[in-house]
Amino acid sequence: MTRFGDFAPLCTSTPSYPWCNLFYRQLQRTGHAALFTGASNSSRTAGVGINPTCFIAPTFSPASDPPSPHLGNIANIVACALSLALTIGLVWLTQRRKAAVGRIELRALLVLYAISLPLNAISTGAFLAQGSTALVVITAVHAGVVAAIFWALLANALVATQVVEDGTLSSLVPYYIFTVLIFALGTYISLDIALGVTDAIGAPAIPVQSLRNIPLFVVLSIWPLIAVVAYVGIMAHIVLNVLNERRPMLFYALAGMLFLLSQLAWFLLGRVLCTVRVFAKDRRIVPGDRAGDGGGRRVVPRLEEYNGRYASFLVPFHDVLSSSTCSFARSLALLPLFIFPALFTLPRRSSTITPHALVPCPAAAVMLSEPLPRPSSRLRACPSNAVCFSDAEPARRVVCPFGSADG
């Protein structure tokens, strides 16, 4: 029976699940290597996972000494490279939006995500031998970065509320402090599991084969879910109630759907494709007898020949879909969540204020003369249907129904 915090089902059935690298070293360290079967018996032949149903073979050949290089999880490497290029482009676009609220915080979030991509490629690419210290350290750092990314995502939503001034010490100091703390927490828990620094976290579970570790499960599975739900909830409140907009919610709905589908593809579709591939290799896909008529009177090719052709057609697609493209979809799914606030939802503020003129508004703006209290000297953000104030004439207000005060 699977319990809360068990990683055994994930490490066996989910292709290229990186956190299994930590448990492989834990089982080696605690003298439970007898649990390894098949290719997992040797660190030179073991793929990512614990006795995985499907895995990418290591990039070195166990039959040669020194090891000879192979491509490994090449599709995931290409996907991470494309995601990295796209993320760098988003960082550049964010940097250009001088008037965007939370620009610095959003840029830091994208940089964190960019850092996670090469770590993901290495920890799941079968470059390093299972159980090696180098692989353990890279996987632990990857875990810490992933945990920090979701804090940065949630923090961007909090900054968007403008409870504190974005880009100032009151915003950046807690932002970076909690980023470092959560990164350190995720990295420490991961290293403790693999290297056994303490018995509180690093001790193996009972039973050992369950690969149970509640702190790691909370940090890498529960915490990201909480952060994403909170982020979408806060941004929905800002878009619908504060800015009174509707269109941006379509993008958030699309981003949430992509995120959900990518997770389902990674955890469920990969398992299905993996099972089909195993059946294909065992030549048990098409029911029937060796005569080739399937027990009926329909003429079909001989079963073994048919299954051989089917397997040769299916396996390349499985290698891409099951172990690689799912990672690509998971990588791209978060990008709409990152960039849409900067492009569509966050209000903009003017970088310069003309001291002796009204704040310029778009065409067809309505001028109303009403006695109003003098606003603060800082120009407020003016989304659609909001009020723009000018220090030059505090008794007047300008209603901008079509855009922000800074154009």
300-313 pLDDT per residue, tens? 333 333 333 333 33
Q: For the chain, what percentages of helix, strand and coil (3-state, to nearest 5) are there?
A: 60, 5, 40
What DSSP character marks residue 54? S
Residue 148: both structure tokens together: 């920090």
Q: What local confidence, expressed as pLDDT, does residue 61 receive?
A: 56
Q: In sequence order, which ranges of 208-325 are alpha helices (DSSP H)?
A: 214-217, 223-237, 247-264, 270-281, 303-320
Q: What whole-number distance in Å separates Cα of residue 274 and Cα of residue 229?
A: 30
User: In what order do the strands lie in the sheet containing 386-388?
Assistant: 366-369, 396-400, 386-388
Q: What mean pLDDT is reported for the chain?
A: 72
Task: Compute the C-alpha angle 383/389/392, nearest 5°.
Answer: 150
Maximum pairwise Cα distance, the chain: 94
Q: Is the pLDDT of residue 295 over 90?
A: no
Instruction: Tell me how far the alpha carbon of residue 361 is from its chain's centroid.
Output: 40
Could you give the C-alpha distances from 288 to 2, 307, 349, 364, in angstroms and in order? Answer: 36, 11, 70, 75
The pLDDT tens digits of the residues spanning 359-402 come to 444 444 444 434 444 444 344 444 444 444 444 444 444 444 43
Omega before residue 360 within 30° of 0, cis: no
Residue 95 exposed, middle or buried by CB count within 10 Å (0-12, 13-18, 19+): middle
Q: What whole-number distance in Å separates Cα of residue 104 and Cα of residue 319?
A: 39
- Look at the pTM and tell me if it is higher than 0.75: no
The pLDDT tens digits of the residues spanning 170-220 come to 999 999 999 999 999 999 999 999 998 888 888 888 888 889 999 999 999
What DSSP character marks residue 232? H
Q: What whole-number distance in Å separates Cα of residue 80 and Cα of residue 319?
A: 16
The pLDDT tens digits of the residues spanning 3-37 come to 898 898 888 888 788 999 999 999 988 888 888 88
> Tokens 């009177």 label which residue?
297
How do the domains of the chain map onto residue ranges? 8-218, 350-407
Q: What whole-number distance in Å separates Cα of residue 49 and Cα of residue 122?
A: 14
Q: What whole-number distance in Å separates Cα of residue 203 and Cα of residue 213?
A: 9
Q: What whole-number distance in Å separates Cα of residue 218 and Cα of residue 147?
A: 10
